[in-house]
Amino acid sequence: MKPVTSSVDPSLRCVRLSGNYTVLLGDDEIGLCKKMPDAPSARAWCVYAPHALSKQDVVGIGRTKQTAWFQFCRNWDAQYTPEQRWERVVARLRKEIIAQAGDDWIELVIPGGHVPNDILRVPRAPFVVWALKYRYRHLAPQWDIVSPMGMKCQNDDPSHTDWIIGAGLDPNDVWALDNRELPESAEHINSAAYEKADEIQYEMLNYKCNIINGSGEVRGVAWHPMKASPTDKLPDVPVLILPSLSVKWLDLVRETARRGGAVIAEQGGATAHLVTVVREEANIPIVLQKGAQEIYTHRFCEMTLNADRGNISLF
């Protein structure tokens, strides 16, 4: 098992020694932890370390070293505010990401003055890793993940965090951390990122659509909620055709998931609230495809959507 290192203070580590999870400050053993900090607590470990290892979890290596641990906590509290710790984390991760990226960068065009000169440079390797999702990452350039999982939300994609931070952004710029309101630029940055991800998937995987969530194959009937009359009944296996991944469609998406269906949307992304909620509940395939509302006829279009290959076939 790999050691867990605080991104705020690299001298603070949790390692497996002689069967125990041992907390080290520099070379000094200052306590034991009941368990290794796990992925969901990674953000707390980075930002609020050493408090991710709660004081009651630090047990027995003698009162002197335990006191040293408590004193370290007090000194930490006095030295930095949570905001300062977060800034130190992001700055340290960015330095490592830029060093690993070298000269391998791509450009996202984001018009409207939301970024300098309407161009956002992002490290190519972690961006391609993110664009290819988990199933096809073996086709992506070599990239050693820098950011811990959990910096944006539980079970988030650290390769996404890597390219965001490497581009000079804070995760707060594109993801609603702690229910904060996103800046106006977030929608434009996310939209440009998914358009570029589309290009990569089309080029490398011959995808016809951008996979946002789920896996497997669904055979069903196109269903446009905007075009449905009050008397229309939802098909046994619907494929929802939505203008966007707005949360207003959440109940309908849940019912579609219950029926084993799928969703095709024209706009949206993995950061949409609807997607983050549904992802916790079901493996429903959700894909993006421009012009979907014009391509697929309401109620009369039978199709197969393969979320593993990014293909949609009509019958």
The DSSP element (H or E) to which 25 belongs, if any, is: strand 20-25
Domain count, the chain: 3
Same domain, 20 and 91: no
**If pLDDT is split at 50, 70 and 90, which confidence band does 224 have?**
very high
Please indicate, yes or no, whether residues 69 and 105 belong to a single structural domain of this protein: no
Q: Which amino acid is at 124?
A: R
Listed residues 23, 47, 79: the one ending a domain: 79
The answer on 187 and 126 residing in a single domain is yes
231 and 141 in a common domain: no
Winning range, highest mean pLDDT, from 51-55, 67-71, 205-209, 248-252:
248-252
Q: Which domain holds residue 250?
A: 210-314
Q: Quick one: average pLDDT of 189-201?
A: 87
Are residues 197 and 88 part of one domain? yes
Q: Are 96 and 137 found together in one domain?
A: yes
Residues 165 and 214 in one domain: no
pLDDT at 64: 55
90 and 197 share a domain? yes
Q: Which of 38, 59, 79 is the last residue of a domain?
A: 79
> What pLDDT was estimated at residue 148?
78
Q: Do 228 and 292 lie in a common domain?
A: yes
What CATH code is carried by the domain that includes residue 227? 3.50.30.10
Quote the CA–CA distance of 7 and 190 in Å, as a whole number. 26
Q: Distance between CA atoms of 31 and 25, rounded to whole angstroms?
A: 9
First to last CA, the chain: 50
Of the candidates 266, 309, 305, the residue with the CA atom closest to the CA atom of residue 285? 305
Is the pLDDT reported for residue 211 higher than 80? yes
Q: With contact defined as beta carbons under 8 Å apart, do 184 and 260 qualify? A: no
Same domain, yes or no: 16 and 36: yes
For 174-189, the DSSP string reads: TS-GGGPPPPTHHHHH
Residues 105, 149 within the same domain: yes
